[in-house]
Amino acid sequence: MKKKVSLKDIAQEAGVSTALVSYVLTNKEEKARVGQEMAKKIRKIARKLNYQPNHIARSLKSGRSDTIGLIVADISNPFFANIARTIEDEAKRNNYTVIFGSSDENVDKSRDLINVLLNRQVDGLILIPTEGSEQQIRNLQNQNVPFVLIDRYFPDIPASHISINNYESAYNAVTHLIKMGRRQIGMIAYKTALHHISERKRGYTEALGEKKSQMKLARYSHLKEDIQLAIDQLLKARKPADAIFFATNSLAIEGLKYINELGIRVPEELAVVSFDESEAFDLFYSPVTYVRQPILEMGKAAVRVLLDQIKDADKPAELICIDTELVIRRSSGKK
């Protein structure tokens, strides 16, 4: 059996100490004041010898695995996929590897994924929590596991989180529709008690003021049929809707498919605004107005806050709220 290449083998060929090789291969050459040419030479030798670092030995020595666990709600949703990519890139810049899974909005799957990641000895977790997972979050606090919530959080649990102002963002989106002359504005949201969706509903309702709310709810597990029923009800009401505000991009995409099937012209007959963006919006004949969430800033903030917690277990919780932007396009134009 071929002997595994060690740091000592690389050091001998480079004519330097094993400590210096270790600094370079763990991206700490600047701290050790290793010259760029020497660092390049060491990495070239490591590649030539096909050096494979022993992560298990390193983690036993340091007490850290240099890995982060990430659980998203639905990896097939572009919003969550983009958050995952941003977190992965930012973690890599900090010499961390990300292991991630998708809970599919299922509280039992969320619990199982947390246990799997903790058994993998991750140094901390970044979570997009599912409905009903409050006890899972409290358990992490009781176990002193470093973690950060992103996109969603539970107001009754004092934990670090990265979020946006969902109320204000929804309020501004609906106010825009009113300014465009829309008078019968419906909203389609998920049937959930999650705080961020509740805040979007509140923003919609308060923006309407004295106007009657036309709120419709869709189940995550029956998305297509519930959205079609909701749109039918909004369009066949005594005062038919002349605008629909979708609470998420997944709701908007499913809704636009059905609106297209019905032959309804957007925005002439019906204005559309979505919370979250999607590349699919560019393919629709009437480019969709949407609330743009600051995914890059959210992902970077989540990694920074988590790494700070990993370094200092006593660091107070950070509650970060980042502004959104309403991107106005043709779908929300005047009648």
Is the model's pLDDT at 60 over the cut of 60?
A: no
Q: 263: Cβ–Cβ under 8 A, 6 or more apart, which residues?
A: none
Catalogue the long-range contacts made by 49-52 (C-beta closer than 8 Å, 24 or more residues apart): 49/5, 49/9, 49/10, 49/13, 50/5, 51/5, 51/7, 51/9, 51/10, 51/25, 52/4, 52/5
The whole-model pTM stands at: 0.80
**Stretch 205-224: mean pLDDT, rounded?**
92
Computed over every residue of the chain, the mean pLDDT equals 90
Model confidence over 89-119: pLDDT tens digits? 999 999 899 999 999 999 999 999 999 999 9
Q: Rounded to an integer, what distance in angstroms lies between the CA atom of residue 305 and that of residue 60?
A: 24
Confidence of residue 32 (pLDDT cuts 50, 70, 90): low
Phi, psi torsion values for 268, nearest 5 degrees: -55, -45
* Fold that domain 166-293+326-332 belongs to in CATH: Rossmann fold (3.40.50)
Which pLDDT belongs to residue 34? Answer: 74
Query: How do the domains of the chain map onto residue ranges?
Result: 7-53, 65-164+295-322, 166-293+326-332
Contact 292, 277 (CB under 8 A): yes
Q: Is 182 helix (H, G, I), strand (E, B) or coil?
A: coil
Q: Is the pLDDT of residue 178 over 90?
A: yes
User: Do the domains 65-164+295-322 and 166-293+326-332 sit in the same CATH topology, yes or no?
Assistant: yes
Strands 325-327, 289-292: pairing kind: antiparallel
Given a cut of 50, whether residue 39 has pLDDT beyond it is yes
pLDDT (average), residues 239-250: 95
Which range has the worst mean pLDDT, 7-11, 56-60, 88-92? 56-60
Roughly how many angstroms between the first and final C-alpha of the chain, as a whole number? 76
What fold, for 65-164+295-322?
Rossmann fold (3.40.50)
Q: What is the pLDDT of residues 215-230, one digit of tens each?
A: 999 998 899 999 999 9
- Mean local confidence (pLDDT), 296-324: 94
Q: Residue type at 111?
A: R
pLDDT of residue 43: 86
